[in-house]
Chain A
């Protein structure tokens, strides 16, 4: 399928705001995870928290969207010249030809959780609570569309941890059909009690920094992030060296709501579909950013899938030891990390993996890979058996 250009990309997580801070932390092999001291949460776990979000309230003209998720979205949009790049796309194509497709799994859940602590005598929510700007999942896309003055089609995708990978495929389909010429895609998920206590109830949070692919891995560290990419149609003039979205593969496990298929069947078919979509053989993939959550079941199943499709030699790593699992933002965040790998010429190592699980027969990087990939594949596998693999790279 015709690739589309990635003309701007940015990421903000506990590693810092923007690509430069993210790249520096990855190169320094420095985790952003810290013991949980978030809000009133009392859990023995580590989290990947973005500092300073709550100190920046939204400008008054967009204050109806006030929530941690949208504040994080705005912080993310302000990095790496992303807003200026979007403005140029609007000049080129028209505001109604630029879409907004974003993933989130909790939107403004935190503000709703806090509001539920102060129900009045009649059981009603405080007047300050604004449903459409916070708890409504579409609030994220509505907010970004408004901030960027876009007038094209828009939607939020909420398929748990694959949400912000799937939006890349969605936007590209609309470009292929001529519905739009460009799109802002990405994902934003922010810390809230629902996910932290929820994953804890499933015994899926680790008491230490998550350790993807380690033999003794014991769960995730929840993180938060905002990551965005600007996709544009390329026309017939593919310029060599352009960073591009090459392929997307989406499948379902149809196996279990909260556990992956034990053989990674859905992840396998998603990677195969992404390669077929990109028209590339498995040997063309230079680096894999794994979903690699650090739970025993995910990493075991994913490694079988990678081994089956790409073999045991291709360099792989999970970057969740740096950022935590940013859930609905993880797809876009890790595609941005793949873009860093391609642009800055190195492969991130996996963190906290002291004894690689011998059951995981993949080439898991535990030190920086100094050669930069031309083609990188990112996996996003979620609750509900949803799988999405995305291939990006520089055009030849």
Chain B
């Protein structure tokens, strides 16, 4: 097991990123370094080609969102996708499906379509990811409201430490249509994937070390990025990504639960 009691660590082998004004990790890294300006524009979610055609047609936004970052993080990596435990972390299911289902159930006919029902489950992206990759290792789906990224990172690190396997973390959130949008104002789709491995190996981006704490959450200096951080629970990871993008050693405090934060230390791989 890596890490001492109460601290857990893993290597970040690769990252996938998609969000408003962020099209992938290569471009997002330059934005977070400050070498490219940040221009917010609606998240463009590509249609995944990884699913069989029948499933591809029915795949809802959350499936394509998770696939986009998942496959970005595994591209070119020596990871056996058919045996890769995967942690999904999100505060929402597919938000449009949720809205459509609720509207259907408010009509007298209540004619729920079977496809819409199965697309409404919280683990729909996880299920399709496992089908697309043939991944028979376990997956899980964790939620902790605005602390969902931290909850997912803890879960992924604990799996890496206890199984001594590579682990994928895919965290994402989607914007709701109105009227749930007014109740839960997530601005736009945002997703990050991190391929984690328990032991040091050449080519890693950095080492991550985590511990629970009660520190004030770290904010980003640039107002446009700070507002992006607050725009979706999955984007609460941005202070960690900023350290990684800059290749800097440092510690940040990530939003978790009301009385708890997650202290994340990033050490660049040398």
* Distance from B130 Cβ to chain A, minimum over Cβ atoms (Å): 4
**Interface hit among A71-79, A176-184, A340-348, A360-368:** A176-184
Are A177 and B161 interface neighbours, CB within 8 A? yes
**Interface hit among A49-57, A132-140, A219-227:** A132-140
Question: Does A158 sit within 8 A of B, measured CB to CB?
Answer: yes
- Contact status of A131 and B117, CB under 8 A, knowing A159-B141, A193-B110, A257-B127: no
Interface string of B120-159 (1 = CB under 8 A from A): 1111101110110111111111111100100100110011
Closest A residue, CB atoms, query B257: A154
Are A254 and B136 interface neighbours, CB within 8 A? yes
Query: What is the interface residue range for chain A against chain B?
Result: 35 or more
Are B123 and A194 interface neighbours, CB within 8 A? no
- Contact status of A155 and B143, CB under 8 A, knowing A116-B105, A125-B182: yes
Task: Mark out the residues of chain A between 158 and 174 whose CB falls within 8 Å of any chain B CB in the assembled complex.
Answer: 158-160, 166, 170, 173-174
Are A112 and B102 interface neighbours, CB within 8 A? yes
- Contact status of A129 and B123, CB under 8 A, knowing A138-B145, A170-B155: no
Closest A residue, CB atoms, query B101: A194
Q: Which of A119, A141, A197, A258 contacts B110 (CB 8 A)?
A: A197
Question: Does B8 sit within 8 A of A, measured CB to CB?
Answer: yes
- CA–CA, A178 and B102, complex, Å: 42
Q: Which residues of B contact A199 (CB under 8 A)?
A: 117
Residue from the set A136, A137, A193 with the largest chain B CB neighbour count within 10 Å: A137
Residue from the set B134, B256, B257, B260 with the largest chain A CB neighbour count within 10 Å: B257
Closest A residue, CB atoms, query B82: A254
Closest B residue, CB atoms, query A119: B179
Residues of B contacting A: mostly: mixed
Q: Which residues of A contact B8 (CB under 8 A)?
A: 177, 179
- Contact status of A129 and B113, CB under 8 A, knowing A179-B6, A256-B131, A257-B128: no
Q: Which residues of A contact B158 (CB under 8 A)?
A: 170, 173-174, 177, 179
Q: Which residues of A contact B126 (CB under 8 A)?
A: 159, 384, 386
Are B162 and A173 interface neighbours, CB within 8 A? yes
Q: Which residues of A contact B5 (CB under 8 A)?
A: 177-178
- CA–CA, A254 and B184, complex, Å: 32
- CA–CA, A286 and B109, complex, Å: 48
B interface, CB within 8 angstroms of A: 1, 3, 5-6, 8, 55, 82, 91, 93, 101-103, 105-106, 110-114, 117-118, 120-124, 126-128, 130-131, 133-145, 148, 151, 154-155, 158-159, 161-162, 178-180, 182-184, 212, 256-257, 259-260
A interface, CB within 8 angstroms of B: 96, 105, 112-113, 116-117, 119, 123-125, 129, 131-132, 135-138, 141-142, 145, 151-160, 166, 170, 173-174, 176-179, 193-194, 197-202, 250-258, 265-266, 269, 382-386, 388
19 of the cross-chain contacts (CB-CB < 8 Å) are: A116-B103, A138-B145, A153-B212, A154-B144, A154-B257, A155-B142, A155-B155, A158-B141, A173-B159, A179-B212, A197-B105, A197-B110, A197-B117, A202-B114, A252-B136, A383-B118, A384-B127, A385-B127, A386-B123
In addition to A119-B106, A160-B122, 7 A-B residue pairs with Cβ atoms within 8 Å of each other are: A112-B102, A116-B103, A141-B144, A154-B257, A158-B121, A160-B121, A254-B130
